[in-house]
Amino acid sequence: MPLKPRVVVAMSGGVDSSVAALLLKQQGYEVFGAYMINWDKQLNELDLNAECESKSQDLADARAVAKILDIPLTVYNFSCEYWDQIFCPFMAFLQKNCLGNPDVFCNTRIKFGVFLRRVKKDFGEDVKVASGHYARLVWEGDNDFPFLEVPKNVKKDQTYFLSRLTKAQLREIIFPLSEVESKEEVRKMARENNFPNWNKKGSKGMCFIGKRKFGNFIMKYLEKEYGFVVDIEDNRKLGIHMGVQMYSLNQRKGVNVSGESEKYYVCKKDAETSTLYVCRESQREKYLVSSGCIVHLIIWIHDEPRTGDILCMKFKYTGKFIKGKLESVNECMYRFSHEPVLIPSPGQFAVFYSRDGTRCLGAGLYKEAIF
C-alpha cells in the first residue's frame, strides 16, 4: 500500500467504530469522523408513534468520542438514498416471496457506495474510508486490489455482510479491528480512553433502522395476503396465515397450527395461491434438508472458481461453514453440491469462502435447493 492516507471513519456511535477511529489516530493517520443518518422517522415512518430505538443517543455518543479524540465529525443524511436503494427494493423482494438481507445491500450501496463517493467528493480522491467491521484486507505481491479475509477475532467475523463488495470498493477501505483478538479488548481500549459508549450493547435488527419487532414493522409496508396453512403430506388445512412473505423456510415459531401431536415447520411457500405448506418435525429431513443448490447473481471479488473446485459456503451470518463443490455453470446459474444442510429461503445470500474458510470469495442469491 502507499503512504498512510487521510481516513474518514464511519462512526455509528457504537464502541467498535469508536475504537476503529482511536486505533487509526494512534497509528498516525489523519482521521476524520462521519455519522450517517439513513432513516428519517418523519420521512420514512407510516406510524410516527411506533416504538423504535432512538438514534439520537448514537449521534451523541459519536460526537462525544470525536471530541475526546479531537477529530471533526461530519453528519450526513442519506435517508432518501436508503429508502430508494435499500428499503423499497427489500420490500419488493419480500413481496415476491424472497428473503434478502438488507445489511448486505446497505454495505454495498450505501456505506461503501453513496457514502464513499460523497466522502471522496468532500475530502478528496485520495481519502480512504474506515469502519468498525471485523474483517481483514490482505494485500499480496503486486496486486492492486486486496483480498477480503476473516479477522483475528473469528467469533465476530463480519465478512458475510461485506461479501458483495467489489475489489474496487475494498481498495478504498480500512478495517482497523482486523487484528483485535476480542470484543473485550475493544471495550477495554474504549474504557481506558473514557469513551462514554465503552459498555454499549451492539446494534441488532435491520441496518440503520434499530431495534423493533421485525414482523410488525414490515407488515405496515406490505400488502397482506391471507391464506391457508396446509400440511404438505395430506393437504389438510391447518390454519390461517397473514402472508407467506413473512415466513422463512424451517420456521416453527409463528406458524398458526394447534391441536396437533407434532410440531410443524414451514417447508414450502406458494405466493401465487398464498399457501403456506408445513411439514411435521419427523418429516424435516425429507422436505427441508438438501445436498445441493442453485445460486445466481453472484459477485466474485476476484477470480471466478472453476468447475470442480471445492469451496466453503455459508447461507446465513450465524451459520457454520459447509463444504461445497461447483458442479456447473449455465447462463449465470451456478449449481453446487454440498454437505446436507437445512435449506435457506430463496433470496438469502450464499456466501463463498476458500477451501480453508479464511478468504471470502464473493456471494450470490440462493435460488433453489436440489434434493
CA-based R_g, the chain, Å: 22
Angle at 286 between CA 285 and CA 287, to 5 degrees: 95
Positions annotated as catalytic residues are 106, 207
Cite the DSSP H helix spans in the chain: 15-26, 41-44, 56-69, 79-82, 88-95, 102-106, 115-123, 159-162, 167-170, 183-192, 214-219, 284-288
Q: CA 251, CA 340: separation in Å to the nearest integer?
A: 18
Q: CA 188, CA 208: separation in Å to the nearest integer?
A: 26
Terminal-residue alpha carbon distance, the chain: 46
Q: Cβ contacts of residue 143 below 8 Å, gap of 6+?
A: none
Q: CA 83, CA 100: separation in Å to the nearest integer?
A: 16
Helix axes 15-26, 56-69, angle to 10 degrees: 20
For 223, the 3-state DSSP assignment is: coil
For 44, the 3-state DSSP assignment is: helix
3-state secondary structure 124-182: CCCCEEECCCCCEEECCCCCCCCEEECCCCHHHCCHHHHCCCCHHHHCCEECHHHHCCC
Q: CA 78, CA 112: separation in Å to the nearest integer?
A: 13
Any idea which residue has 456466501 for its cell? 351
What burial class does residue 338 get, using C-beta atoms within 10 Å of its C-beta: 0-12 exposed, 13-18 middle, 19+ buried?
buried
